[in-house]
Structure 1
Amino acid sequence: MNNTHSSVLNKVAYLILHGFDKSYRWHSRITRDGQRRFEQAQWQETQKAVKERIAIYERTLSDAVGEIYQQVFPHQENSQFWLDLKHRFQKLLNDHPQYELAETFYNSVIGRIFKHQQINDDMMFILPTRCYLTGLQRHLVVHSFDTSGTVRQMLDDIFAQYHFDIDYQDMERDLRHLDAALRTRLNREQLAYVHTVEMLKAVFYRSKSAYLIGRICMPDETLPFVIPLSVSESTADKQKHKIVVEALLTERQDLSVIFSFARAYFMADTQHPAEVVAFLHELLPHKKKFELYIALGLYKHGKTVFYRNFLQHLEDSHDQFAIAPGIRGLVMAVFHLPSYGVVFKIIKDEFPESKKITRQHVKDCYRLVKMTDRVGRMADTHEYMNFRLPRSRVALELIVELLDTCASSIELTEDEVIIQHLYIERKMTPLNIYLEQQNDPKLITSALNDLGLCIKQIAAAHIFAGDMLHKNFGITRGGRVIFYDYDEICYLTEREFRRLPKSDDPYALDTLSVGPTDVFPEQFEHFIVGKKHLKLELKALHGEIMTAEFWLEMQAQSLKGDVPDFIPYDQTKRFVN
């Protein structure tokens, strides 16, 4: 290798690493500022920060690719250049604290240059380059607390480690609550067996809450130890905001809901994300590591880890990709691998006349959901380009369906089905199927009640779901209703909510002037759920969502910029403050 070639390789490798480091510094700066926004109750600024942090990656990626084009003409380089570049870049990462994220950034650079046509492990870091040894850097991300004294002494030690620039409203009261809650959760014998409490150093900020996250360690058992915090806003004087301890959570289910795929990403500042994810995975072993990276706002690397997990699952399974159960969508073709917990969604080539939207509009809607607070009611989605499936694993019926509805997005080779653009989303039971198959009246009522709550909470987040047919909602194993069809989603302020005219004239509705943004909520009862007894029950539970008044009030709150509280855990566990 001549010196000029080696020099160019070094420059390009350093440019990519510089681009990543710039991206992560920017990401960390916004994340770190979460504490100030929390202390000052700057909730609208918090929502803006969520959007800004998501946008960072694309900006720094574009800058890095532009700088590479100043050094080389990428498409004139041979394959050996890219093999050498990957090797050179890998060497730069030997002691890098975010090496796994940097590999993903490298993948993004190669993907951008080659328009995602060169997805292989020779060119990119498709497979992991090293086995991460969990625990070697644990001391850098975790505080450990001695439990040989009293519970109160341990709690005092914990709060001495977390420093805020505002006071607690009533620390003595909060410590009494925590002491009593822990003694309720653990009996005297269990408390005696606790040998350590470990707490992540990073505070996890999201929306109007902050979380201290850790675990109670006993010889035969480890329990979550999570302390949610809020800021009291009882006065207009921002200098008098006070911190309130809201609860003590020691159930894995509570922590799992906090880390739900339907919630916004956390602001949790760390320079050692692999170790933080390893710690969280020990607390939540049923969650995949890609889900935890995504929850930390590192969604690009989460996509990489997902893809690796997906490839491994393909090797370990034998079932075929098939059309997903449920009513066919008008905008998306949806399929799944029955043994795997996600669905794959492709935008169709043509939409029926009733859908007066474009392909770009659909993409914009999915991006809107990515950038907003999903409040536990809207499933996160992840976008992929040139996603490859082994053709032998794809059912013929599905291939026929995709060629019929999405041909512009499909490329068939002898061995692969290549999908140019798709979204991946958590698999849930479609609500219409659930209601048809469920025989327990109490569970039906619970699902309908949660459906109404889902619609209301999305509205409280300033979003209008649009197409609210129950087939567009899913239900999780825990019975929570989640919205997942976004082609008609928009901000509340983009719609005109109107009352139907009161008239004895049977033809009055026929002459009603209806604009493209007009919505008549009184008509919702006719289509959200199909069967009459379900309609009546939903109306009895949440009749207000079928009135213009409800939506106009939600719209007014949106215009004022109100940011409501969304408590992601069992409210019966909140302390009475």
Structure 2
Amino acid sequence: MDTSMRFAQTILHGFESYFADFQNITLAARPRFENADWAGIHAASRERIDLYKEKINKVSEFVELIAGDQLRDLDFWSAVREHYAVLIKGHNNYEIAETFFNSIYCSAFSHRKIRDEYAFVFSPHGDMPSVSSGRLWRSYQLEVGLEVFLEQMLDDYALNIPYEDKHRDIANIASVVRDFLLPRFGGELENTTAQVLDSLFFRNKGAYIVGKLVSGNKTMPFVLPLLHTEQGSVYVDTILFGADRVSVIFSFTRTYFMVDAEVPSQYVMFLQSLMPAKAISEIYSALGYYKHGKTYFYRCAVRHMEGTRDEFILAPGIKGMVMSVFTLPSYDFVFKIIKDRFTPPKDMTRAQVMDKYRLVKRSDRAGRMADTQEFTNLAFDRNRFSDELMEELHKVAPSQIEENGKALVIRHVYVERRMTPLNLYLRSATDEQIHSVMDEYGNAIRELATANIFPGDMLLKNFGVTRHGRVVFYDYDEICPLTDCNFRTIPEPRCEEEEMASSPWYSVAPEDIFPEEFRLFFSGNSRARKVFDQLHSDLYKASFWQGLQSEIRDGQVEDFFPYRRKLRFPRQVMLQQRLQG
């Protein structure tokens, strides 16, 4: 066996080891949910995210020993790629195996010289595996009767803890199905089939049954969230219908799911059939395969660039002090570059900013922070950058750009989904929209805090509005764990000189936060501030934040609902009625 074949086999073995460890961490999600081990679920989520880099580092050590002086020989890598392509042909998860190979290659070449001859920039086998391996979903016929179908489904997906009140849950679900679905399915469900993914989806304190109803040429996606009671039982919290609501469950702003999917691509394609507007790259990431999500994103981005001619421009909105942000008008993403020098009063380093982004990746994003893809030495067509944008990049981040003929290489860049900056959204918003979006803004701050994240700079420009109307935080340079902050009330002045002083007369430590000053974030927008004061004035009190800190330190883990609370079934009220009856 020659060195290039042994090299290829070592990478494949490394991938198989990674995938097995990934699956083992994932499989433990079910017993953790059943035991209400919420801290364990969060720790496992971080462990699984860190696993990829750990495996890449380990395998890189092995292949360096095998290759020796050939490690940076491109002809050698070309031969390795050929062997590897043969080894993974017909592999159920070849597409993720290709991404693993790419990561080893990038480790050897510091993310340079990325060509399809040496790595899998594009797949010779196709983007998505077409193989079928085992059962993907369970099928139910609704002609047996709606209640019978629902009971059978809940029994099939039962956990090792009892339902709190299965018949109540069935009645709740059936009521919504009849009110919502019957008018859309012609008034009857006799010819309707339910296809339900075989494995439960686990995240935070929830488990989810995911499927779709099919009647002729009509389909309706649905999700059933299961929640844990304090008494050691489980209940159905609601039923969610439609692509938009299901899409929010799988949002790019949420922690990755744990789901037992031996062939992830099959789950990805089923989920994409439920959410046609959801990018496949985001679905891979939602299942925890964020590195392959990045690969798929890159391939789609290249194809988009090849099929369009518009120019990259500075992103709309107020320029950031730490990041320079640009976008392509025809593309739904923005590109964020860390500046060489930060605008005062920002006082931090590039390494500290990158650490903040790593913190977000490993944290519970609670549906309120955008996931990002991080790229090194990303090449663009220089001719597609506007003069204004190039002038800006040369001015604020010259160390991060390199022009090689027609190519513009950006040494380090973050990519995230484009949203409408909240400050711009408010300019043309109606009174009703302002009320809704400022309630969302306040809820975003609360939910981040409950997840032990303090945003730091809460200016309106640092939040975005998604197409679903959710408010999401996307400026991470000042975030920190909430428990690291010291929330204080501004002391009362003791004399007229102190009251009239232009600067604080009391001592202020770096970790001190004065919530009363949050009103300054609404400078120039009195309409928004008035609504916020009506809905969330308790956020101006140090006691609110101190109370959250105490709960977090006591080990309390909150629920983060990926749906509107008004959609929840009235469980406790019905229990009281049942007891009284």
Q: Same fold (TM over 0.5)?
A: yes
Structure 2 unaligned spans of 5+: 572-581
Task: Say whether residues 1:102 and 2:92 are aligned partners.
Answer: no
Q: Tell me if the contact between 1:142 and 1:198 (Cα under 8 Å) persists in the aligned partners.
A: yes
Q: Which residue of 2 aligns with 1:469?
A: 459
Paired residue for 1:41?
Answer: 36
Q: Does 1:387 align with 2:378?
A: yes
How far apart, in 2, do the equivalents of 1:529 and 1:125 lie? 50
CA distance in 2, matches of 1:191, 1:92: 51
1:492 aligns with 2:489: no
C-alpha contact 1:468 1:528 (8 A) present in aligned 2: no
User: 1:419 is matched with which residue?
Assistant: 410
User: Equivalent residue of 2:144, what SS?
Assistant: coil
- Deviation per residue, 1:179-231 (Å, 9 max, x gap): 22222222284433543211111211011000010000111211012111011
Q: Following superposition of structure 1 onto structure 2, how do residues 229-268 of structure 1 map, counting pairs within 5 Å? A: 229-234=226-231, 241-268=232-259
CA change 1:312–1:405 in 2 (3 A) is same
Correspondence 1:344 to 2:341: no
Post-superposition CA distance 1:342-366 (Å, at most 9, x none): 1000111111341121111100101
Change (3 A) 1:129 1:529: farther
Equivalent residue, structure 1, for 2:143: 148
- Is residue 508 of structure 2 the alignment partner of residue 514 of structure 1? yes
Q: Is 1:289–2:273 an aligned residue pair?
A: no
Aligned 8 A contact 1:193 1:219 in 2? no
The one-letter amino acid paired with 1:174 is D
How far has the Cα of 1:534 moved from its partner? 2.7
Contact 2:95/2:128 (<8 A) preserved: no
SS state at 1:511 partner: coil
Matched, 1:370 2:361: yes
Q: Does 1:70 align with 2:62?
A: no
Does the CA contact (< 8 Å) of 1:141 and 1:272 recur in 2? Answer: no
Aligned residues: 565
Give the aligned partner of residue 316 of structure 1.
Answer: 307
1:275 aligns with 2:266: yes
Q: How far apart are residue 528 of structure 1 and its match? A: 4.0
Letter of the 2:456 partner, please give it.
G
Residue 347 of structure 2: aligned partner: 356
The Cα shift of 1:477 comes to: 1.9
Matches of 1:297 and 1:408, distance apart in 2: 33
Which of residues 72, 75, 78 in structure 2 aligns to 1:80?
75
Whether the 8 Å CA contact 2:434–2:531 is kept in 1: the answer is no
Aligned to 2:526, which of 516, 528, 532? 532
SS in structure 1 of the partner of residue 234 of structure 2: strand
Distance 1:139 1:17 in 2: 23
- Report the alpha carbon displacement of residue 529 of structure 1 after superposing the two structures with TM: 4.5
Q: Distance in 2 between matches of 1:492 and 1:76?
A: 45
| Deviation (angstroms), 1:506 | 4.7
Change (3 A) 1:133 1:75: closer
The whole-number CA distance in structure 2 between the counterparts of 1:208 and 1:506 is: 53
- How far apart, in 2, do the equivalents of 1:397 and 1:77 lie? 38
Partner Cα separation in structure 1 for residue 207 and residue 160 of structure 2: 14
Once the two structures are TM-superposed, the CA of residue 572 in structure 1 deviates from its matched residue by: 2.4
Alpha-carbon deviation of 1:339? 0.6
Q: Counterpart of 1:144 in structure 2: which amino acid?
A: S
| Alpha-carbon offset, residue 429 of structure 1 | 0.7
Do the aligned partners of 2:46 and 2:363 also contact (CA within 8 Å) in 1?
yes
Which whole-Å CA distance do the structure 1 matches of 2:463 and 2:213 have between them?
37
Q: Is the alpha carbon distance of 1:171 and 1:199 closer, same or farther for their aligned partners in structure 2, counting shifts above 3 Å?
A: same
Task: Report the Cα distance in structure 1 between the residues aligned to 2:194 and 2:127, rounded to whole angstroms.
Answer: 24
| Deviations, residues 311-338 of structure 1 (Å, cap 9, x unaligned) | 1111111100111111110000100011
Which amino acid in the other structure matches residue 491 of structure 1? P
The Cα shift of 1:134 comes to 7.5
Between the aligned partners of 1:292 and 1:110, the Cα distance in structure 2 is 25
Aligned partner of 1:210 among 204, 207, 212: 207
Whole-angstrom distance in 1 between the partners of 2:69 and 2:476: 37
* CA-CA distance at 1:165 after TM superposition: 1.6
Partners in 2 of 1:274 and 1:392 — Cα distance?
Answer: 36
More displaced stretch, 131-140 vs 49-58: 131-140
- The 10-residue stretch of structure 1 (184-193 or 148-157) with the greater mean CA deviation from structure 2: 184-193
Distance 1:133 1:297 in 2: 17
Rate the CA distance shift 1:7–1:566 in 2: closer, same or farther, 3 A.
same
Aligned to 1:331: 322
Letter in 1 for 2:292: H
Match of 1:479 in 2: 469
Amino acid at match of 1:481: V
Whole-Å Cα distance in 2 between the matches of residues 535 and 179 of structure 1? 42
Cα distance change on mapping 1:323 and 1:534 into 2, 3 Å: same
1:219 aligns with 2:216: yes
CA contact (8 A) 1:470 1:529 kept: no
The residue that corresponds to 1:237 in the other structure is none
Give the equivalent residue in structure 2 for 1:159. Answer: 154
Cα distance, 1:397 vs. partner?
Answer: 1.6
Q: CA deviation at 1:139?
A: 5.3
| Residue in 2 that maps onto 1:195 | 192
| Offset at residue 177 of structure 1 (A) | 2.1
* Kept in 1: contact 2:64–2:71 (CA 8 A): no
Verify the 8 A CA contact 1:498 1:520 in the aligned structure 2: yes
Instruction: After superposing the two structures, state which structure 1 stretch, 244-253 or 176-185, moved more.
Output: 176-185
1:96 Cα deviation after fit: 1.5
Which residues of structure 1 form unaligned runs of 5+? 1-5, 235-240
Q: Structure 2 CA distance, aligned partners of 1:244 and 1:74? A: 60
Corresponding position of 2:579: none
Distance of aligned partners of 1:572 and 1:76 in 2 relative to their CA distance in 1, 3 Å threshold: closer
- Residues 436-458 of structure 1: CA distance to partner in whole angstroms, max 9, x if unpaired? 233x1111121112111111111
User: 1:442 is matched with which residue?
Assistant: 432
Correspondent of 1:32 among 12, 27, 33 = 27
- What amino acid maps onto 2:204 in structure 1? S
Match of 1:140, SS state, is: coil
Q: Which residue is equivalent to 2:4?
A: 9
2: distance between equivalents of 1:529 and 1:15?
A: 58
The answer on 1:177 being equivalent to 2:142 is no
Residue of structure 2 in register with 1:238 after alignment:
none
RMSD: 1.7
Q: Which residue does the alignment assign to 2:124?
A: 129
- Check the 8 A contact 1:169/1:242 in 2, yes or no: yes
Give 1:83 shift: 1.2
Whether contact under 8 Å (2:72, 2:108) holds in the other structure is no
Offset, 1:421: 0.7
In the alignment, does 2:546 pair up with 1:552? yes
Q: Is the 8 A contact 1:526 1:535 kept in 2?
A: no
**What TM-score, normalized to structure 1?**
0.95
**1:575 lines up with 2:576 in the alignment:** no
Q: Distance in 2 between matches of 1:558 and 1:329?
A: 31
Q: How many Å separate the matches in 2 of 1:88 and 1:473?
A: 47
Q: CA 1:185/1:134 → structure 2, altered by over 3 Å: closer, same or farther?
A: farther
Q: Which amino acid aligns with 1:460?
A: T
Q: Which residue of 1 aligns with 2:109?
A: 114
- Cα separation, 2, equivalents of 1:471 and 1:96: 46
Q: Secondary structure at the match of 1:222?
A: strand
SS state at 1:501 partner: coil
Q: Which amino acid aligns with 2:403?
A: L
What is the CA-CA distance between 1:74 and the residue it aligns to? Answer: 5.2
CA distance in 2, matches of 1:141, 1:192: 23
- Would you identify which runs of 4 or more consecutive aligned residues in structure 1 move more than 3 Å? 74-78, 131-136, 188-195
How far the C-alpha of 1:526 sits from its partner, in A, is 1.5
CA distance in 1, matches of 2:191, 2:371: 37
